[in-house]
Structure 1
C-alpha cells in the first residue's frame, strides 16, 4: 500500500488539463510568465493587469494555479487579492496561489507569512526555478487532494476524516499534516479535542504553532486565564508572530483590560504593518479607551494601505 502511494506521489504532475491566471501589471512579464506556464504544459492561461481584473476573472473561472505579483502598480496588492478571493470563496482550496515580488522587505515578508500563499518567488527567477517550485506546490496539493476536495465541497467532516487517515501513517509533509489537523479541529469548533491534540504536540517539542493552536482552543473553551499563560510564555521566548498578539488582544478584552489590549495590538502593527483588519480593530479599541490620537493615527494607516482593499 505504501509503495503504491509513493509511486503515485513520484509521478510527474499532469498539466494539460490545468488552467492558470497570471496577475501582473507589466506586459513583458505577463508574456514571460505565460511562456513559462506553456513550457510546463498548461495551455489555458489567462492574463490580468490588476487585482480588480483578477477578482473578476476568478468570478468567471475556477483556476488551478494563480501567479500574482505583490505590487500591482495601482489598486490591490497581491496579498489583498488573495484575501478577497478567499473571503469571497473565489479560489479553491485545491488551487495553487503563488506570490511574486521584486523585493522582500520585512513588512512584505510578514504579510506573506500571515496570508500563507502556497509559495513566494523573488524576481528575477529562471524557468527551471519556476518549474521546480510550481511542481512542488502541485505535488503537495496532490498529497492532500482528498482534504482539499472535501473543503471545496464544504465537507468539514470529510476533510477531518481525510487528515486523520493521513495522520495514521505520515509519509510526507509531517508538520503540514499536523498543522492542518489542528486547524480543522478549530474550524470544526471541536475545541476540547483540539486542545488535547496541541498539548500532545507541545509535550513532544516546544513548537510555536502548537502553543498558539492550544491557546486558540482554550479561548474557544472560554479558558481565558490558561490561554493567557500560554500566549505570554510565547512572547517571553521572543515570539514575534502577530497572530499571537491578536489572541492576546482577545484575552485582555475578555478579562476587561482594553488598555493593555490596545498596547499589545499597537505592537502587532509595528511587527506586521500591512494588516488592514488590525488597524480597524485598533480604531475600535482606541475609541473605547478614548485615545483619539491613536484613532487618528490608525485611520491614517488604513487610508495608506487599505484604500484598495
Structure 2
C-alpha cells in the first residue's frame, strides 16, 4: 500500500487527558495532518462537528464527566452529524466485553487499545482512510440516501478493488432493504453465504425474511446467528421483536435479558425490556430495566420524560402489592428529583407524577401525605400546570379520603 498523504485530511481529536492529547496530536502531525481540531469533552466535539466536516475522528472512550465515547458515537450516528465518508476510530484503555460490545453496537470504523505505538496507529489509519477513499462515491450516495446510486458505485468498486467485495456486497444488500427490494436483498445475501459464512450476510437474510413477513424463517436465521456468534447482539433484539409479534412476551423478555447480559449499555434495549416486562405485569423486572435506562439517559440523545415516568410507574405498580422497600423508595425519590429538574413543564407529565406519588403514600397507609399531595395537584390543575385526575383516580381518591375530588 502506498504511503497515505494526510496533509489535506481534517482530523478531530477527542481526548480529556492532557498527556494523551499531546501525544496523539503529535502522532497525527508526524503523519502529515495539518488540520487538527481538539475537543476535551463530547459536548464540545459535537459543536465542532456541527460547524466543521472531518475526514478522521479519533475519540477516546473515557471522556471524564458527561457523555462517554459510546454515547458520543450513539448521538452522532442518531443525528447523522458525521457522514459516511468520515472515519471514526475509537480509542480505549478498557478491554471489557461490556465496553467493546457497547462501542461496537454503534459501528465505529474501528477501535484501538491503549497503549499503542505510533507505527500501529499509522498502519490502522492508513488502512481505514484508504478504504474510505476507495468507497468515496458509494458513501457520498449513501449520505444522499441515493441507494440506487450507492449500488451502482459499489459494483464499480468491486470491479476495481476485488478485496472490497464483502464490504460492497453488504452495502448493496442493505441498500436493497432500504429500497424495500426485499427479494433482491435476500438473493444477494444468499449468494454471499454460498461463498463465505459472513455474519452480516446471515443478519441481512434474517432481516429480509422479517420484512417479507416470513417470521418463522427470520427466527431460524436469527437463532443461527446467535448460535454462531453470541456477541452479535442485534440478533437478540430482532428475535425479541418476532416473539412479541407472535404473542410470546415471556420469551421476548428472556431474549432481551440475555442480550442485556452481553451488552448492558444500550438504552433502547433497556427500555424495550421495561415495556415487555410491563406487558407481563412483571413490575420488578420493569423497574430494574427503567432504572438502568434512567441512569443511561443522563448523557444520551434518547433522554426523554417517558423513561423517567415509566420508572416511577413501575414503582407505583409494585406498591399496589404493599409498601415499598426502602431501596425502592430511594429509587423513586431519585428519579422524581431528576424528572422535576429536566421535564417539569409538561402538564400531562406533572399529573402522572402526582398520581404515582399518591399511590406510594396510599400503599404506606399515609393518607395525610397522600391528601396533601392531592391538594397540591389540584392547585396545579387550577393554574394549568397539571392535567386533572382521571375519573377512575377521582373515585379511588374519594374512597381513600372520604370526600369528592374536584
Would the TM-score normalized by the shorter structure come out above 0.5? yes
The 1-side partners of 2:74 and 2:229 are apart by 28
1:100 to 91, 105, 121: 91
The one of 138, 153, 157 equivalent to 2:148 is: 157
Q: CA RMSD in A?
A: 1.7
Partner of 1:261 in structure 2?
A: 252
1:119 to 101, 110, 122: 110
TM-score, L = length of structure 2: 0.70
Shift of 1:238: 6.0
Separation in 2 of the partners of 1:170 and 1:68?
Answer: 29
**How far is 1:195 from its partner?**
0.9
Preserved contact between residue 67 and residue 100 of structure 1 (Cα < 8 Å): yes
Give, in whole Å, the separation in 2 of the partners of 1:240 and 1:33.
31
TM-score, length-scaled by structure 1: 0.91
Structure 1 residue matching 2:154: 3-state secondary structure: helix
| CA displacement at 1:168 relative to structure 2 | 4.7
Query: What is the deviation of 1:242?
Result: 0.9
Is the CA contact (8 Å cut-off) linking 2:101 and 2:231 kept in structure 1?
no
Match for residue 70 of structure 2? 79
Asked if the contact 1:195/1:213 (under 8 Å) is kept, the reply is yes
What is the distance in 2 between the residues matched to 1:292 and 1:241?
28
Secondary structure of the 1:110 match is helix
- Please say if 1:304 is aligned against 2:304: no
In the TM superposition, what is the alpha-carbon distance from 1:203 to its structure 2 partner? Answer: 2.8
Bigger relative contact order, structure 1 or 2 (CA pairs below 8 A, ≥6 apart): 1
Whether the 8 Å CA contact 1:274–1:305 is kept in 2: the answer is: yes
Question: Is it true that 1:183 corresponds to 2:166 in the alignment?
Answer: no
Q: CA deviation at 1:86?
A: 1.6
Structure 1 residue 98, shift from structure 2 partner: 0.6
The whole-number CA distance in structure 2 between the counterparts of 1:276 and 1:212 is 22
1:51 correspondence with 2:39: no
Change (3 A) 1:301 1:136: same
Instruction: Confirm or deny: 8 A CA contact 2:270 2:290 kept in the other structure.
Output: yes
Query: In the TM superposition, what is the alpha-carbon distance from 1:305 to its structure 2 partner?
Result: 3.1
Structure 1 CA distance for aligned equivalents of residues 198 and 128 of structure 2: 24
Q: Whole-Å Cα distance in 2 between the matches of residues 169 and 239 of structure 1?
A: 35
How many angstroms does 1:112 deviate by? 2.6
Provide the C-alpha distance between the structure 1 equivalents of 2:182 and 2:4, rounded to a whole number of angstroms.
37
> What is the CA–CA distance in structure 1 between the aligned matches of 2:31 and 2:227, rounded to whole Å?
47
Structure 1 residue 42 and structure 2 residue 56: aligned? no
**5+ unaligned residues in a row in structure 2: which ranges?**
301-406
How far apart are 1:257 and its partner, in Å? 1.4
Query: Aligned residue for 1:271?
Result: 262
SS at structure 2 position matched to 1:172:
helix
Matched residue of 2:162: which SS?
Answer: coil
Verify the 8 A CA contact 2:57 2:88 in the aligned structure 1. yes
Once residues 245 and 184 of structure 1 are traced to their aligned partners in structure 2, the CA distance between those partners, rounded to angstroms, is: 22
Shift of 1:170: 5.1
Instruction: Describe the SS at the equivalent of 2:88.
Output: strand
What is the CA distance between 1:59 and its match in structure 2? 0.6
Q: Contact 1:98 / 1:117 at 8 angstroms: preserved in 2?
A: yes
CA contact (8 A) 1:224 1:254 kept: no
1:287 aligns with 2:281: no
- Larger-gyration structure (1/2): 2
My pick for the range that moved more, 67-76 or 77-86, is 77-86
Equivalent pair of 2:207/2:218 in contact (CA under 8 Å): yes
Question: Is the alpha carbon distance of 1:50 and 1:293 closer, same or farther for their aligned partners in structure 2, counting shifts above 3 Å?
Answer: same
More displaced stretch, 242-251 vs 13-22: 13-22
Q: Give the structure 2 partner of residue 144 of structure 1.
A: 135
SS in 2 for 1:256: coil
Between the aligned partners of 1:272 and 1:243, the Cα distance in structure 2 is 10
Any conservation in 1 of the 2:150–2:172 contact (CA below 8 Å)? no
Distance 1:219 1:63 in 2: 36
CA–CA distance in structure 1, aligned partners of residues 230 and 108 of structure 2: 21
Structure 1 position 140, deviation (Å): 0.8
Separation in 2, partners of 1:201, 1:158:
21
Q: Structure 1: any 5+ residue segments left out of the alignment? A: 1-9
Contact 2:169 2:188 in 1 (8 A): no
